[in-house]
Structure 1
Amino acid sequence: MSADTAPVRFDTKIAVLLRDDLLTWQRLNVTAFLVSGIGTVIPEAIGEPYEDAGGVRYLSMFRQPVLVLTGSGELLRAAHGRAVGRHLPVSVFTSDLFATRNDRDNRAAVRAVATERLDLVGMAVHGPRNAVDKVLKGATLHP
C-alpha cells in the first residue's frame, strides 16, 4: 500500500458530548457551536481548502472525523471536570445559551456562573486519543 492510499490514523481526537435529553434542533445547533471553537485554537486540526473539478473553491474543514456522543447530565459534568483537570481544550454550551441571541450575551451568560454550577448541555474536546477517551468514558455514540 502506498503512502497516498494507506489508512490515516490520527494521534488526536475531536469529540462532542451532548446531554441526552436535548431536542433534535438543539443537538444540531449545540454541535455546530461547540466544534467552531476547536479550529480557532488548534490550527493544525484544519485541513487545506477544497476545490471541485470546475475550479470552485470551498472552505477548509477539520482534517479528521468528529465523534458525536451522548450521555446524561451527570456524565457530562464528570467529563467536563476530567477535561478541565487534564487541561484539554474544551468548548462548552450551557442551557442559558438557548435564550441569548449574540456572542456577547453568550459569553456573559457563561461568565456569570461558577464552573461547578454550569448547566451544561454539551461540550467539545480535542486532545490525544487516549486522553479524550478517558475524559468521555461512559458516553455512547450519538444514534
Structure 2
Amino acid sequence: MKFDTKIAVLVRDDLETWQRLNVTAFVVSGIAASQPQVIGEPYEDADGTTYLSLLGQPVVVLEADAATLKAAHTRALSRELPMSIYTGEMFTTGHDEANRSVVRAVPRDDLDLVGIAVFGPRNGVDRSVKGARLHP
C-alpha cells in the first residue's frame, strides 16, 4: 500500500545507540500526538487480549550529520510541515517541562538538533530530508 503522506525521522549520526533510540521514540510521539489520522486501530491477539493502537503507516528512520540535519530542519520549516524536534540539551533534563524550557532558551538557528520527525505529503518530506541516508 502506498501512502500519500510520509513520516520521516532523522537522527544525528554521532549519537550513541541508546540516544538514537530515545530520540526516535520522542520525536515520533510528537507526530502521533499531533496527527491523529496516522493512528491505526487497536490490536488484538487470538486470545482476545487487546493492545494499543500504533501508527497506521510506515516510518522511515534516517541518519545524517549535523549540517544535513540542520538543513532538513530549515527545509521542513519552509514547507510548513508538522515537525517535532529533539535537542542535545534535552539529554540533560528529566521531564517534559524541563525539555520545553531548554528548547525555549535557544534561538531556532542555534538549536543543537540531534533529531527531528517530519510529517506531510511524501514529496515535501522527501525534499526536506534530502541528503540523509537510511539508518543502518
- Shorter-chain-normalised TM-score: which range? over 0.9
For 2:129, the aligned partner's letter is: L
After TM superposition, the score normalised by the length of structure 1 is 0.94
For 1:136 and 1:117, the matched residues in 2 are separated by: 19
Shift of 1:37: 0.6
Q: Please name the residue that 2:8 is paired with.
A: 15
Q: Which residue of 2 aligns with 1:58?
A: 51
Deviation, structure 1 residue 53: 0.8
Aligned residues: 136
Structure label with greater radius of gyration:
1
User: Any runs of at least 4 consecutive aligned residues in structure 1 with deviations exceeding 4 A, and if so which?
Assistant: none
Percent identity at matched positions? 61
- Tell me which residue corresponds to 1:83: 76
Map residues 86-125 of structure 1 onto 2, 5 A cutoff. Answer: 86-125=79-118
Q: Any gaps of 5 or more consecutive residues in structure 1?
A: 1-7
User: Partners of 2:91 and 2:37 in 1: how far apart?
Assistant: 30
Give the TM-score normalised by the residue count of structure 2. 0.99
Give the SS at the match of 1:37: helix
Post-superposition Cα deviations, 1:89-117, rounded to whole Å, max 9, x if no partner, equal 00000000000000000000001100000
1:73 maps to 2:66: yes
1:83-141 Cα offsets, whole Å, 9 max, x none, are: 01111000000000000000000000001100000000000000000000000001000
1:41 CA drift (Å): 1.1
Amino acid at match of 2:57: Q
1:111 and 1:124 map into 2 onto residues whose CA distance is 18
The CA RMSD over aligned residues, in Å, is: 0.5
Q: Which of 24, 44, 47 in structure 1 is aligned with 2:17?
A: 24
Letter in 2 for 1:120: L
How far 1:40 moved relative to its partner? 1.1
Give how far 1:50 is off.
0.4
